[in-house]
Structure 1
């Protein structure tokens, strides 16, 4: 139920302070944009997780070692840097909504094609091309919503968009559990990729119902040099671009190490069945969803930098604890999956608002697309390194490399300003 302030000056409307004030403040157009961005990111997540969840089956089908399977994730994330940079430039030049539709169509088409791959090399090519759309969707969708959101509620609003990642992850786990229960593994992994056609339905909704924020669109059209890649490397923005990329590298290196290898860790070193793995991931994903919402609230309350620093430290500690639980203590593993998911997701809640506030309208898409996805590409080498080291360290031992990524993120924060409450210009 919504509550309002009791003392209001004559002629003024009472302030909306209810739990969903951030959503009501978007207005009808903003809420439709939120729906499009939320759906796009959820399905982006779904299409991404078709690979990690199917990695054991794919590895067996093509007779791959852990290094080769880790490379499938790395090429996706490395190419996503290109996709993110291109999508950001497109968002500044042709508009947020048009760029959003292009990214969704791209990742959907190439996810489906992965299911038809006749060999490892073809799968790698299709997965890399899927990264073009995967890399661009979040940045474009986040900017679209950020330009509708007020400075007061921007953190919570973008945190809610980020929570779509957990929703898509959960959907992927549900489909994975059903598909692998009823089909043999050699067929099931292909079916998982074929279900990646779902985003095509979202494109229809976005095309009919979503538009760019009018005021931001006017500023963008009036700007000289909009979508200029060189602008984000000029003197006044170079420091921001460098440290924002470093921040993204650390956070995403830690995150994707866990997202890629935890399902394999649970199966190969903990001996869990498909249903058992799904049960454990339920706790991890539930913590993730609540973490996104909580982090969004905190980033508005304590600031962007403090929120990121807090959860970077907690995520690093969580990894070390999670991967050193004694054999046979799978019940404890289950319980600790919730806080681990909470910590490693809450850190992302401030990213959408923070990166949007660091760049002016003319290059907001370019700056956010480049820094977020370049960081993801560099951080992507951690999953591959885990794959190669796991042959000697074990998957659980190698996963601790993710903690180093979060340490790098904390260091990067010293080079960036606090932006809480900043209006978008």
Structure 2
């Protein structure tokens, strides 16, 4: 009788998914390592997040025109962004549970359709109250898309390259932002402002084309599908209760605080910088678009650089580094003296770079903090609850803008980055961790 011991078992998530190529070297090794199926999933998630960004920025870019059309004050316009982000917490949590129950791809399509439909409806709003309601419902899809797409790609990516892979997904936010600025510049140049803001929302129908691609070409990672089916077979359905059990409670609470800090800082800038440039720096539509080009270019490169550094330095060090640099850039950007708009232009690049590079580790970090059975629930809940709490930063800026000025109130974004650094003391480093 043979005494040869059996080979060690391999957890489902550590197996190389079907179609993934062996890892190699080079600047695009992370992309080759995904394999054909993983690259199609990457394309779907990249497109989904880019169009998510596009639909989000239709509001901040049109905010001045919307305020004039409905006769809104700064607090009311800030509330439009806040309600989107607050409701996104519900959308993200629901989408996370759906991803764990029905699969990542199906949940991704549902979120994309949701945010596209309600973005278009915003363009038909007859009054402020209706616009506020449609924008809130848009938040349901907006909140879920990133978490589902990030999980989908994370489960195809290798531990070695996961930071870079998810950083590349994050960079699609800058692509969507840039597309929104281009469309904004053209629409507001050639269409009357009373109609132009509606046209911006109507262009939010673009994501419908992506859904066709995802349905035909994208599938869940085999390991994740196997674990989901096994869990369903044992009646072990993912639920919110599981992420609050003792073994995950600390992780969940500190991950929410981390998300709150980073997104509070980010959305303060994303919401109010266009208004700051136009109302306090006196820039035209063309001028605002030019200045935002520097900001967005920095953001795109920041996402890619942050993805590389989160694999080299670790998730926590990358976030700490760019939290400090982002806070410093905010203070510098909002204290540029009048008449020095050239310096404002130059500082836009490092501001965009730093406030985006900090996000690059989020997709990999949050995915690695939770096991497969509750990965969608955990990531969807923590990221979007943090987004909802961080949403009150833009609102606070809006209410203070009338007395402090938009530039003065923007310094509250720096406070958010301080919260993010504090949250890291309660979370483990996960670089190199296999998804179990």
Normalised by the shorter chain, which TM-score bucket? over 0.9
Note the C-alpha offset of 1:227.
2.2
1:240 corresponds to: 251
**Does structure 1 residue 176 correspond to structure 2 residue 184?**
yes
Q: 1:358 aligns with which of 355, 366, 369?
A: 369
**Does structure 1 residue 385 correspond to structure 2 residue 396?**
yes
Report the Cα distance in structure 2 between the residues aligned to 1:326 and 1:226, rounded to whole angstroms: 57
Q: 2:273 aligns with which of 254, 262, 267?
A: 262
Report the Cα distance in structure 2 between the residues aligned to 1:77 and 1:15, rounded to whole angstroms: 38
Unaligned runs of 5+ in 2: 1-20
Report the Cα distance in structure 2 between the residues aligned to 1:391 and 1:248, rounded to whole angstroms: 28
2:13 corresponds to: none
C-alpha distance after superposition, 1:134-189 (max 9, x if no partner): 00000000000000000000000000000000000000000000000000100000
Report the Cα distance in structure 2 between the residues aligned to 1:229 and 1:244, rounded to whole angstroms: 15
2:85 corresponds to: 77
Q: 2:125 aligns with which of 99, 117, 121?
A: 117
The ranges of structure 1 where at least 4 consecutive aligned residues each deviate by more than 3 angstroms after the TM superposition are none
Q: 1:231 aligns with which of 212, 235, 242?
A: 242
Note the C-alpha offset of 1:14.
8.8
Report the Cα distance in structure 1 between the residues aligned to 2:229 and 2:415, rounded to whole angstroms: 42
Does structure 2 retain, via aligned residues, the 8 Å contact 1:88–1:227? Answer: no
Q: 1:322 aligns with which of 333, 336, 350?
A: 333
Q: For 1:424, what is the secondary structure of its paired residue?
A: coil
Report the Cα distance in structure 2 between the residues aligned to 1:295 and 1:61, rounded to whole angstroms: 40
Deviates more, 1:291-300 or 1:212-221: 212-221
CA RMSD of aligned residues (A): 0.9
2:296 corresponds to: 285
1:335 corresponds to: 346
Does structure 2 retain, via aligned residues, the 8 Å contact 1:386–1:399? Answer: yes
Note the C-alpha offset of 1:226.
3.4
Does structure 1 retain, via aligned residues, the 8 Å contact 2:70–2:128? Answer: yes
Report the Cα distance in structure 1 between the residues aligned to 2:265 and 2:224, rounded to whole angstroms: 34
Note the C-alpha offset of 1:219.
1.3
Q: 2:172 aligns with which of 155, 164, 167?
A: 164
Q: 2:413 aligns with which of 387, 402, 417?
A: 402
2:17 corresponds to: none
Report the Cα distance in structure 2 between the residues aligned to 1:404 and 1:289, rounded to whole angstroms: 24
Residues 293-304 of structure 1 mapped to structure 2, 5 A cutoff: 293-304=304-315
Q: For 1:320, what is the secondary structure of its paired residue?
A: helix
TM-score (norm 2): 0.94
Report the Cα distance in structure 2 between the residues aligned to 1:14 and 1:197, rounded to whole angstroms: 39
1:187 corresponds to: 195
1:146 corresponds to: 154
Note the C-alpha offset of 1:217.
1.0
Q: For 1:327, what is the secondary structure of its paired residue?
A: coil
Unaligned runs of 5+ in 1: 1-12
C-alpha distance after superposition, 1:312-334 (max 9, x if no partner): 00000000000000000000000
**Does structure 1 residue 214 correspond to structure 2 residue 222?**
yes
Q: 2:100 aligns with which of 92, 103, 110?
A: 92
Q: For 2:255, what is the secondary structure of its paired residue?
A: helix
C-alpha distance after superposition, 1:344-387 (max 9, x if no partner): 00000000000000000000000000000000000000100000
Report the Cα distance in structure 2 between the residues aligned to 1:193 and 1:87, rounded to whole angstroms: 23
Report the Cα distance in structure 1 between the residues aligned to 2:23 and 2:29, rounded to whole angstroms: 9
Count of residue correspondences: 413
Report the Cα distance in structure 2 between the residues aligned to 1:226 and 1:173, rounded to whole angstroms: 42
Does structure 2 retain, via aligned residues, the 8 Å contact 1:325–1:332? Answer: yes
**Does structure 1 residue 135 correspond to structure 2 residue 143?**
yes
C-alpha distance after superposition, 1:193-240 (max 9, x if no partner): 000000000000000000000011101221252321110000000000
TM-score (norm 1): 0.96
Q: For 2:426, what is the secondary structure of its paired residue?
A: coil
